[in-house]
Amino acid sequence: MRSPFLMALIVIFPLAACQNATPESRKDPATAVATERAQEAPKAGAAPDVAAAKVSPDAAQAAKVDEAAPADGAEAAPDETVKAAEVAPEAAPEVAEVLTSPDGTVILPCGTAPEGMVCIPGGPFIRGSDNDPHSECKQPSYNKRHATNNSPASTIWMQTYYIDKTEVTFGAYSACMEAGECNKAKPLYRDFDRPLQPMTGMSWTDSDKFCTAQGKHLVTEAQWEKAARGPDGLLYPWGNEPEANCDIAVIMNEQGQRSCGIEKIGYKPEKGRVLEVCSRAEGVYGLCDMVGNAEEWVADWYSHSFADCGADCEGMDPLGPCGGKEEGCKHRYKVVRGGSWYWPKEHATSIHRRSHVPSNDPYHHYGFRCAASLDEAQAIAGEPAAVEAPSAPVQVIAP
């Protein structure tokens, strides 16, 4: 039998607990769960109103039966019987392949080419030849003993750059003169002044100034040769064969007729003339007249061979003798490339080199084309000059 004292304690303690409890703690547990879910999952289209949420007996009963089942749109309550959803592993980051030269230069991709230019992707190419089929050049030039001057064959690396699709035209040069940005120059021959003919007859200095006025630079010999040969060292812009002929280049034909038998107007028509640019099919990289039509000035000083040039003709983006500097260089001649309308097929190769004085005196009808670095191309387009390598993880591809 329980004592009256013990019975009094049993009655008092539950009463005290009820008197000290908050209204929320006095709710039925199932009712509390249903209330919480009603607050977290308002009806669709209605703004939630936690203070006004009411719980029906049915909702309370449902909470008692299945406390683990969340209302639509609500977070699930913790329940040991519910397994957490497995999280799919994150995909591995994409690895960009980056070509890197032996000196560590990252080769950058082509961007948007300036109008009238074509992008030449950077990387290695074969420059020079150990087996020039035209071993003795008889053109008037300053070549040593009129012997081959393009040996040895070697691998040269270039950063990505842009080059004019065509030789600079008479019309373009004339517009530059009219704007007061270029030196006065003109062809001496009659019938060489059609707007789309290559501009000929200017000096090396005139050519260089024109390119600078356009925000570009006179193409270097290495840039010219890669653009004319591609990365694999082709003999011609169209491949290693066939030999140049009048179907694919503007040269002297097999009958000895200049400009493929097309005569110029006026005195001595048999001298022939340069034809409008792109009168023959495009070659590698989509460029026109890289051999034939007009021979072209390039930026480099002339050396009797690439071996004689030495370190200045090696490595990354070589600039030729004296590192391309004008002042203080003891070399006297500049390089001319590409063969022309005036000369036979032996001169119309992607490896043929000729030399001449920068003043173009004695006078020759040479042409030229410009090139642009990535920074120069962005400046022409009015974009920021900085060009950055990919920021993603990279896989370096070296030779």
The tens digit of pLDDT for each residue in 89-132 reads 666 666 667 899 999 999 999 999 999 999 999 999 999 999 88
Indicate the SS3 state at residue 39: helix
Question: Which of these ranges, 12-26, 130-144, 180-194, 320-334, has the smallest mean pLDDT?
Answer: 12-26
Which pLDDT band, with edges at 50, 70 and 90, does 145 fall under? Answer: low
Domain ranges of the chain: 15-87, 97-380
Mean pLDDT value across residues 285-297: 98
pLDDT in the model for residue 59? 43
Indicate the SS3 state at residue 376: helix
Query: If you count them, how many residues does the chain have?
Result: 399
Indicate the SS3 state at residue 353: strand
Rounded mean pLDDT of the chain?
Answer: 81
Nearby residues of 245 by Cβ (< 8 Å), 6 or more positions away: 251, 253, 254, 345
Rounded Cα distance, 44 and 214, in Å: 65
CATH, range 97-380: 3.90.1580.10
pLDDT in the model for residue 69? 44
Which pLDDT band, with edges at 50, 70 and 90, does 148 fall under? Answer: confident
Q: Of 132-136, 138-142, 239-243, where does the model show the most confidence?
A: 239-243
pLDDT in the model for residue 386? 46
Mean pLDDT value across residues 317-340: 96
pLDDT digits (tens, 9 = 90+) for 344-367: 999 999 999 999 999 999 999 999
Residue 234 has pLDDT above 60, yes or no: yes
Mean pLDDT value across residues 33-55: 39
pLDDT digits (tens, 9 = 90+) for 240-273: 999 999 999 999 999 999 999 999 999 999 999 9
The pTM (predicted TM-score) of the whole model is 0.75
Judged on CB neighbours under 10 Å (0-12, 13-18, 19+), 49 is exposed
Residue 233 has pLDDT above 90, yes or no: yes
- 156 with 125: CB under 8 angstroms? yes
Report which secondary-structure segment, H or E, holds 396.
Answer: strand 394-397
pLDDT in the model for residue 97? 79
Q: Which amino acid is at 249?
A: A
pLDDT digits (tens, 9 = 90+) for 208-219: 999 999 999 999
- Choose among 253, 224, 10, 28: nearest CA to 128: 224
Q: Which amino acid is at 257?
A: Q
Rounded Cα distance, 316 and 159, in Å: 8
